[in-house]
């Protein structure tokens, strides 16, 4: 679980910047004919003439967004790509290209960066994405990863946050809150490790929730599923900051209200069990946990038959008139105003 410090170590000073980029990206394959020229010139050249292009970017900072004490570098590379692809999928587009820039302090060896890039490469292969550029530089402290992702879709398919209408169904993919509980377990084990470095954590009862935290999977499959089901959501967003915060974004951008039913929110049994163990309310975690990288969408009621019974899609509420605002309807049938308590960058 914790970083192995005994690995062979090659300092980054031994390589120049150009050699380093070449070295780190040499095994990456190109999947798309839209990638005309990849890494190696002042800029990459792309043919994006087919449909519309979506572009999104995210910055991950050590000590703010991740802790290398329990985040293996390969997982970090994978997750950093997922965070960006999730934004592309939330536009109902398919990801095609990414650029990856990193700033690293001299405490990182070449082998450490190879680990990071092996995770990036795995993500590119699983999601058929081309790495087309980036920058590699030194930092005065820690590791920072900046990724920009490009995707493509027909204009008619692109799904914004702003299209939800009153009475649309609110639908979520997968389950929520597990990633946050995985983080709680990892934080606890880190504290144990700091007190007793000889301790070996037994995480068998937490495998699912830890995987949700360390190796989330952006929902490319949902974009493909919606295509097969012939459903175009009226609005869509990905869940990075927590269900509650994302619902409020949809309400604000679409100018609608929302009723969310507590009993409908999909929770994983392991997540619920861990909530009990930590004595945290599982609904609070589901609403505010964040880092689920599931998709939250609104669907016209006429499309209900198309999604009914699909195990990937759970109806958790419906949109209402704007003056009704956003509410949670509890199991006790109480109506509570939703507030954004998701992860905040500051």
CA atoms within 13 A on the CB side of 110: 17
Q: Residue 305, exposed/middle/buried by CB under 10 A (0-12, 13-18, 19+)?
A: exposed
Query: In terms of CB distance, is 105 or 330 closer to a copy of itself?
Result: 105
* 148 lies in the binding site for a copy of itself (CB under 8 A): yes
# of chain residues touching a copy of itself (CB under 8 A): 73
* 130 lies in the binding site for a copy of itself (CB under 8 A): no
Minimum separation from the CB atom of position 217 to a copy of itself (A)? 17
Q: What is the largest CA-CA distance in the chain?
A: 65
Query: In terms of CB distance, is 66 or 318 closer to a copy of itself?
Result: 66
Query: In terms of CB distance, is 99 or 173 closer to a copy of itself?
Result: 99
Q: Per CB under 8 A, which of residues 262..291 are in contact with a copy of itself?
A: none
Sheet arrangement for strand 169-173: 235-238, 295-299, 169-173, 313-320, 257-261, 326-329, 335-337
Among candidates 133, 124, 134, 120, which has minimal Cα distance to 37? 133
> Is 312 within 8 Å of 222 (Cβ atoms)?
yes
Q: Crossing angle for the helix pair 73-89 and 110-126, nearest 10 degrees? A: 30
Q: Per CB under 8 A, which of residues 150..169 are in contact with a copy of itself?
A: 150-151, 155, 158, 160-162
Which helix (H) or strand (E) segment is 229 a member of?
Answer: helix 220-229
Q: Per CB under 8 A, which of residues 74..93 are in contact with a copy of itself?
A: 87-88, 90-91, 93
Among candidates 158, 183, 177, 199, which has minimal Cα distance to 56? 158
Choices 131-139, 192-200, 201-209, 222-230; region in contact with a copy of itself by CB under 8 A: 131-139
* 336 lies in the binding site for a copy of itself (CB under 8 A): no
Minimum separation from the CB atom of position 91 to a copy of itself (A)? 5
* 103 lies in the binding site for a copy of itself (CB under 8 A): yes
Judged by CB under 8 A, which of 16, 125, 281, 334 binds a copy of itself?
Answer: 16
CA atoms within 13 A on the CB side of 201: 21
- 287 vs 115: CA distance, rounded Å: 33
CA atoms within 13 A on the CB side of 240: 21
* 136 lies in the binding site for a copy of itself (CB under 8 A): yes
Q: Per CB under 8 A, which of residues 37..76 are in contact with a copy of itself?
A: 37, 40-59, 61-65
Query: In terms of CB distance, is 279 or 346 closer to a copy of itself?
Result: 346
Q: Per CB under 8 A, which of residues 188..207 are in contact with a copy of itself?
A: none
Choices 66-74, 168-176, 230-238, 271-279; region in contact with a copy of itself by CB under 8 A: 230-238
* 255 lies in the binding site for a copy of itself (CB under 8 A): no
DSSP-based three-state secondary structure for 203 = coil
- 61 vs 49: CA distance, rounded Å: 34
* 24 lies in the binding site for a copy of itself (CB under 8 A): no
Minimum separation from the CB atom of position 331 to a copy of itself (A)? 30
Minimum separation from the CB atom of position 164 to a copy of itself (A)? 13
């Amino acid at each position: 679980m914790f970083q192995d410090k005994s690995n062979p170590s090659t300092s980054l000073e031994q390589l120049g910047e150009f050699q380093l980029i070449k070295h780190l990206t040499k095994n990456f394959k190109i999947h798309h004919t839209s990638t005309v020229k990849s890494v190696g010139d002042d800029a990459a050249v792309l043919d994006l003439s087919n449909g519309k292009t979506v572009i999104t970017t995210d910055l991950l900072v050590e000590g703010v967004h991740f802790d290398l004490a329990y985040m293996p570098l390969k997982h970090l590379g994978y997750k950093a790509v997922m965070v960006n692809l999730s934004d592309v999928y939330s536009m109902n587009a398919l990801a095609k290209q990414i650029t990856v820039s990193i700033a690293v302090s001299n405490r990182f060896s070449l082998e450490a960066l190879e680990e990071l890039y092996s995770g990036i490469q795995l993500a590119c292969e699983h999601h058929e994405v081309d790495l087309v550029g980036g920058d590699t530089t030194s930092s005065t402290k820690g590791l920072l990863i900046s990724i920009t992702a490009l995707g493509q879709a027909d204009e008619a398919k692109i799904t914004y946050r702003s299209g939800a209408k009153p009475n649309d169904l609110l639908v979520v993919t997968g389950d929520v809150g597990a990633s946050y509980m995985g983080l709680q377990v990892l934080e606890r084990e880190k504290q144990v490790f700091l007190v007793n470095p000889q301790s070996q954590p037994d995480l068998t009862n937490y495998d699912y929730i830890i995987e949700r935290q360390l190796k989330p999977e952006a929902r490319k499959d949902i974009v493909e599923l919606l295509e097969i089901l012939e459903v175009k959501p009226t609005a869509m967003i990905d869940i990075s900051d927590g269900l509650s915060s994302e619902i409020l974004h949809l309400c604000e951008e679409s100018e609608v209200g929302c009723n969310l039913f507590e009993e409908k929110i999909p929770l994983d049994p392991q997540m619920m069990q861990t909530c009990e163990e930590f004595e945290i309310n599982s609904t609070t975690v589901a609403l505010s946990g964040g880092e689920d990288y599931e998709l939250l969408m609104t669907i016209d009621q006429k499309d209900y038959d198309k999604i009914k019974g699909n195990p990937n899609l759970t109806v958790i509420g419906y949109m209402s008139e704007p003056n009704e605002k956003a509410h949670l309807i509890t199991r006790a049938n109480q109506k509570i105003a939703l507030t954004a308590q998701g992860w905040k960058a500051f």
